[in-house]
Structure 1
Amino acid sequence: MDKFSCTIENYYICFHFSDMDEKLLALEKFNFWNGNVPSLGFPRTGYTEKIYDYTGNKLIKVLVGQRRVGKSYILRQIAKRLIDDGVNPKNILYINKEFIEFDFISDYKDLEGVLNIYKKKISASGKKFLFVDEIQNIKGWEHFVNSHSQDFAEPYEIFISGSNSKMSSGELATLLSGRYVQFEIFPFSFIEYSGVMQVDISKQSFLQYMEGGALPELFGLPNEETRRNYIAAIKDTVLLRDIIQRHSIKDPRLLEDIFVYLVNNASNLVSITNIVNFFKSHKRNTSYDTISNYIGYITDTFLIHKAARYNIKGKETLTGNCKYYINDLSYKNYLYSGFGYGIGYKLENLVYLELRRNGYQVYTGTLGAKEVDFVATKGDRLIYLQSAYLLPDMQTADREYAPLKAIRDNYEKLVISLDDITLPSNEGIKHVQAWNLPAIL
């Protein structure tokens, strides 16, 4: 309203429109009140069903993952599911700290103030559900969450999300004293991709999935150049905001070059010493500790994942060499595609992500001089997996099956490939076409 056109009758409205009312308008824009339905995106039922199973208690539900993997949509989908199951929309409060409308929330006291505005202005009785997106951007957020998650006089159930090292398991254990359950959110799976693109599950669609990217917003972009710019912007934002600024990085160029190195060596065994020597051979003076710290910062942002080596015979994890995998192949496909990087490596990366997406802890296995691509465990289930581009002849098949045949226990053993036909079982080792892997995990 133009304040210069105010009359005596609307004077109060013009000049007494309080700060509280402005904040309430921001809340109304993004909440489900008064028939409003915020954007929900593609239904990610694999996550929402799993998270919904943990509702109805005081555990804090924590969604973690790289920026732009769809955590916000999943939070809103959970809120919608609560409403569909009978929760009054006014009993749900959703805040996304990345929206400029919530720039006024800088610390937990501001967050408490927003909650008080909500309670005062919105008539809602009974248990309330609080959703706070990208909560790591609120200083001291854990004070707010710990207080209200355990409030027996005024019950709340809390769902939060975050994207950086403040949301790592070790940090959360300290901040939330064990009163939480964590869900790591990944880019779209192949099954989700096929749903978004409305294509059949097949080798052809899997190869298209492999050669593109799986971050949700990519699918609304019109061409490859736009997608490349989008991926570059995400990478730059994560490196700058979540690492360089947060950790006062002295050599930002080295940080990015390490990221490029990890992308181009994904699925390969590497060591910190190897990386130090690589940069020294290119006249870049650095140290073991610097490289180690920078890699730790990158993995904390979920851009890259580390798979430690596991001694299959000794049943123990090993230090030294390990493998790194990209959180999404779009970083390779759109930003650094000029470097040699075979389909077999991309397939291995996708197998790793599918295992993690399905809740497995994943290691790279060693058995004497032999290497097993993956040792995956979830509860009582243990699977040994080999990933191979193709098995065109007996010699190649023997090479890929040999490490699994050398394992002398009776756990599941799988070989994953892109072959057009499914091979028969070989000494109990099952062959699985890559696009069918999700169905057996």
Structure 2
Amino acid sequence: MEENFNSLKHYNFWDGNVPLLGFLREHYTSTIFKYTDNRLIKVLVGQRRAGKSYILRQVAHQLITSGINPENIFYINKEFIDFDFVHNYKDLDKLIKLYKAKLNPKGKIYLFIDEIQNIVEWERFANSYAQDFTDSYELFISGSNSKMLSGELATLLSGRYVTFEVFPFSYAEYRGITHSETTKQSYIHYMESGGLPELFVLPNEDTKRNYINAVKDTVLLRDIIQRYSIKDPKLLEDLFVYLVNNASNLLSINNIANYMKSNGRKTTYDTVANYISYIEDTFLVHKAERFDIRGKETISGNGKYYVNDLAYKNYLYSGFGYGIGYKLENLVYLELRRNGYDVSVGVMRNKEVDFVAKKADKILYVQSAYLLVDEKTIKREYASLESINDSYEKIVVSLDDITLPQNKGIKHVQAWLLHTLL
């Protein structure tokens, strides 16, 4: 058991040790920190390698700089082999008791459990420690599956947790880590590379390509194939490739299944639907449902899929036809989601609005366009927004070198400045 404690010491902030903190993601840390000093469980979810571990450690470090004793911080990452001995919630409970016996921390203890879904019956641990009124604990946990807080646990912890979805680097964060200016050129470079944090410490394009491929393989294998005992791993990967190469296009499960069958794949509608839902659960792709703007209701069936990071397209499948306008639309979707909006594809009779973005009582209608090159293009891109008869904000986002004046209440914004409006 002593060697288990030594593993804890290695990864924690005790005795002046400061684990790697990485690039400070202040957008997340400041938001999470507002929810501290209570019994709410702070839950970080997002794709593997999107930076959840660094953010957890940054929050822990921020607690320390605010005056919390480092010995009151307990951190483990279940991705590290040093913690392979923690199989289930009982093992984790024993480890915490060992930590308390060794350090005897006074006052509230802050528990940071990274990739907690790798601990069997972790829900029992979270529920128990969240409700323990004999000692004072505050829990911060992370996971790489969107369903980790569904079902029974959501019922057990009803009203006692808050979720933060972590995305790869935004354009603003990209500028921060690369020390770039806010320009069209740097935005296009961001668009043609990717936002997964570890990309920025790799030396060359080949290494980055191998890294992105390894991330993809790890997610598909560990988070889907092994978890759900997938019988056709090749179909799973083919579906991921199809979604990446058709991002920003209107798709239906039926059409995707028919496409796979036309290419000689033996599959069914249900299999395709299940496999795609698993891919969504790992945050590799996101689905935007269609929304009837007049009827104010979601339309089932067709929808659009967006890639969580364009690195998959840029480094793995760049040979497939894929216009820059589609990449721009993907980045606009991600920027809206990062800023806390629920995002749908807007439908108005025979017209489509790229995004209906909602946050609390705020609604944005957003149209994404590569370039507004002439009067005909401008008229086409503005037409859908003009047909909406309400007073919510309407925006057209493009890569134009100049900003067009406001037109019938519709704002035009250059893509690299979108974050300033959100």
Pick the TM interval, shorter chain.
over 0.9
Query: How far is 1:284 from its partner?
Result: 1.4
Task: List aligned pairs for 1:309-348, cutoff 5 A.
Answer: 309-348=290-329
Indicate the RMSD between aligned Cα atoms, in angstroms: 0.9
Counterpart residue identity of residue 308, structure 1: E
Q: Tell me what 2:201 maps to.
A: 220
1:102 aligns with 2:83: yes
* SS state at 2:314 partner: helix
Unaligned runs of 5+ in 2: none
Contact 2:45 2:146 in 1 (8 A): no
Q: 1:64 to 1:172 in 2, by over 3 A?
A: farther
Residue 259 of structure 1: which of 240, 248, 251 is its match? 240
Percent of residue pairs identical: 68
Cα deviation per residue 1:239-280 (whole Å; 9 max; x = unaligned)?
011101110111110000000000000000000111011112
Q: Tell me what 1:363 maps to.
A: 344
1:30 aligns with 2:24: no
The normalised TM-score by structure 2 is 0.99
Measure the CA separation in 2 of the matches of 1:141 and 1:178.
18
Cα deviation per residue 1:29-86 (whole Å; 9 max; x = unaligned)?
0000010000000000000000000001101000000000000000000000000110
Task: List aligned pairs for 1:191-270, cutoff 5 A.
Answer: 191-270=172-251
1:392 aligns with 2:373: yes
* SS state at 1:167 partner: coil
Q: Tell me what 1:126 maps to.
A: 107
Cα deviation per residue 1:400-440 (whole Å; 9 max; x = unaligned)?
00000000111000000000000000100000000000011
Q: Which runs of 4+ in 1 moved over 6 A?
A: none
Q: Tell me what 1:375 maps to.
A: 356
Counterpart residue identity of residue 192, structure 1: E
Unaligned runs of 5+ in 1: 1-19
Contact 1:372 1:384 in 2 (8 A): yes
Q: 1:432 to 1:409 in 2, by over 3 A?
A: same
Contact 1:165 1:301 in 2 (8 A): yes
Measure the CA separation in 1 of the matches of 2:96 and 2:233.
39
Query: How far is 1:380 from its partner?
Result: 1.0
* SS state at 2:214 partner: helix
Counterpart residue identity of residue 92, structure 2: L
Q: Greater shift after overlay, 372-381 or 278-287?
A: 278-287
Query: How far is 1:174 from its partner?
Result: 3.9
Cα deviation per residue 1:176-225 (whole Å; 9 max; x = unaligned)?
33421000000000000000000111101000000001000000001111
Q: Tell me what 2:61 maps to.
A: 80
Query: How far is 1:173 from its partner?
Result: 1.6
The normalised TM-score by structure 1 is 0.94
Q: Tell me what 2:276 maps to.
A: 295
Contact 1:69 1:187 in 2 (8 A): yes
Cα deviation per residue 1:109-134 (whole Å; 9 max; x = unaligned)?
00001001000001310111000000
Query: How far is 1:175 from its partner?
Result: 5.4
Contact 1:243 1:298 in 2 (8 A): yes
Measure the CA separation in 1 of the matches of 2:408 and 2:38.
47
Cα deviation per residue 1:326-362 (whole Å; 9 max; x = unaligned)?
0000000000000000000000000000000000000
- CA radius of gyration, larger in: 1
1:279 aligns with 2:279: no
Query: How far is 1:145 from its partner?
Result: 1.1
Query: How far is 1:169 from its partner?
Result: 4.9
Measure the CA separation in 2 of the matches of 1:354 and 1:269.
20
Q: 1:170 to 1:208 in 2, by over 3 A?
A: farther
Measure the CA separation in 1 of the matches of 2:157 and 2:216.
29
Measure the CA separation in 2 of the matches of 1:334 and 1:145.
38
Cα deviation per residue 1:369-426 (whole Å; 9 max; x = unaligned)?
1000000000111000000000010000000000000001110000000000000001
Measure the CA separation in 2 of the matches of 1:35 and 1:28.
11
Q: 1:309 to 1:172 in 2, by over 3 A?
A: farther
Q: Tell me what 1:8 maps to.
A: none
Counterpart residue identity of residue 20, structure 2: S
Measure the CA separation in 1 of the matches of 2:352 and 2:302.
12
Q: Tell me what 2:126 maps to.
A: 145
